[in-house]
Amino acid sequence: MESGQTGRPVDPREPAGPREPGEPGESYGPGRGTGRRALLGAAVLGAGGAVLGLSGTASAADARKTAGAAGVKGAAHGGGLKDLPVPTIIGHRGTAGYRPEHTFGSYELALDLGADIVEAGDLVPTKDGHLVCRHEPEIGGTTDVADHPEFAGRRTTKVLDGVSTTGWFTEDFTLAELKTLRAVERIPANRPHNTLYNGRFEIPTFEEVLAWQDEQTRRRGKQVWIYPELKHPTYFRKLGLGTEERLARLLRRHGKHRRTSPVLIQSFEPTSIQRMNKFVDNPLAVLLSGADSRPWDFVETGDPRTVADLVTPEGLKEIAGYAQGIGPTLDLIIPKDSAGRLTRPTTLVADAHRAGLILHPYTMRNENPFLPAEFRKGTDADGYGDAFGAFKAYFATGIDGVFTDNADTGVLAREDFWND
């Protein structure tokens, strides 16, 4: 549990360990990140050129775009994962660096800025069984639910994956009730500019996302990809709200359950991905947190293995039996020392590729607190560091793609990488 966030579980996708100056939970004044406006403007221009096919990338770079996808297990010729450029830029919860996450405003901006895939969304169920897109089932930090007196009595404490968590939970609301809420910025200390959009966007359902995907594909004249994540599936299965079955039914209803369908499915629970492998033919990925952590489904079933066991050649070979990729934390690709600086890369990229798996690590962000120490510039809570330098370091390891809160920065960093 993070300091300053009473009653909230630690999210594997958020920075762990001692908090650096400016990280979420600390109080700072308005940010003075002087480079953001210039960087965003340049990135939008660069991403726009890429989206419109105006990039002047050389032929040698074109070969690099698809080289990493050639060995993707189960990818069909002329479709599926092989259609994606490498490294793939994945809009994390849309483009969470610029809009409140998991909203159509965030999703559409990610596409505008050049993301190849949009993580739409983190899937959690409502009381009446609908899948909605929220970062966590607890919605006190991502919606204005606390401002709704009619829901004051819904605030409660539950044990979520072993952590006592206080707040409001999606499974205690009907879809109609959730639709009366509006999204807010989750980490305003780091992204005060995002609070401008508080209250503008409602909570999307995943069925709405599937329809949005089709509409955006038609409008943009290119296939839009999405990357939903099943959140806390063991927890919800115990509540009688199994999320794998619900997701599979929606994908089949929309004809998006095939190996070449533009929908990748991910989860931090390996057994959840194994279940999805039986229900649909979509490409699947197992998310991996810190090396010493244990997936919650392993905790529940008494499986003693940790993530360190899963990233051995033997563990990766097992994952390759039911999934096409892994989503490791960036620290599993290049560990950091005690000062937060990058050390030597591990063998995970080579080992995963040898097993036939692609790697989509998480999460690249532009703000200083989320970058390796050597790429930080100043200590402002929302100040940008040398994100391009950090992208270059991770791309150089041979990863197949990366989740990022700043799709435009990722697109420009990829152009630099291709042209080096």
Beta strands in 180-241 (DSSP E): 225-226, 229-230
pLDDT tens-digit series, residues 228-253: 999 999 999 999 999 999 999 999 99
pLDDT of residue 14: 54
Q: How far apart are the first and last CA of the chain?
A: 41
**Pairing mode of beta strands 88-91, 284-288:** unpaired
**Cis link prior to 143 (omega < 30° from 0)?**
no
Query: Which amino acid, 392?
Result: K
pLDDT of residue 79: 72
Q: Of all residues in the chain, what percent carry a pLDDT higher than 90?
A: 80
How many angstroms separate the CA atoms of 181 and 163, rounded? 25
Interior angle at CA 311, CA 305 and CA 316, nearest 5 = 100
- Give the CB-side neighbour count of residue 288, counting CA atoms within 13 A: 29
Q: Residue 19 above 90 pLDDT? A: no
Output the average pLDDT for the chain: 86
Between 420 and 72, residue with greater pLDDT = 420
Query: Which stretch of 46-50, 77-81, 156-160 has the lowest confidence by average pLDDT?
Result: 46-50
Query: Which stretch of 78-87, 92-101, 134-143 has the lowest confidence by average pLDDT?
Result: 78-87
pLDDT tens-digit series, residues 91-117: 999 999 999 999 999 999 999 999 999
Q: What is the DSSP letter of 186?
A: S
Neighbours of 313 (CB within 10 A): 13
Task: Say if CB 103 and CB 204 are below 8 A apart.
Answer: yes
Which of helix, strand or coil describes residue 332? Answer: helix
186: Cβ contacts below 8 Å, ≥ 6 apart: 96, 100, 101, 135, 141, 142
pLDDT of residue 13: 55
How many angstroms separate the CA atoms of 408 and 95, rounded? 9
Neighbours of 70 (CB within 10 A): 9
Q: Residue 35 above 70 pLDDT? A: no
pLDDT tens-digit series, residues 312-366: 999 999 999 999 999 999 999 999 999 999 999 999 999 999 999 999 999 999 9
Which of helix, strand or coil describes residue 133? Answer: strand
How many angstroms separate the CA atoms of 148 and 167, rounded? 13
Which of helix, strand or coil describes residue 319? Answer: helix
Burial of 368 per CB tally in 10 Å (0-12, 13-18, 19+): buried
Q: What pTM did the predictor assign? A: 0.84
Query: Which amino acid, 170?
Result: T
pLDDT tens-digit series, residues 165-200: 999 999 999 999 999 999 999 999 999 999 999 999
Which of helix, strand or coil describes residue 169? Answer: strand
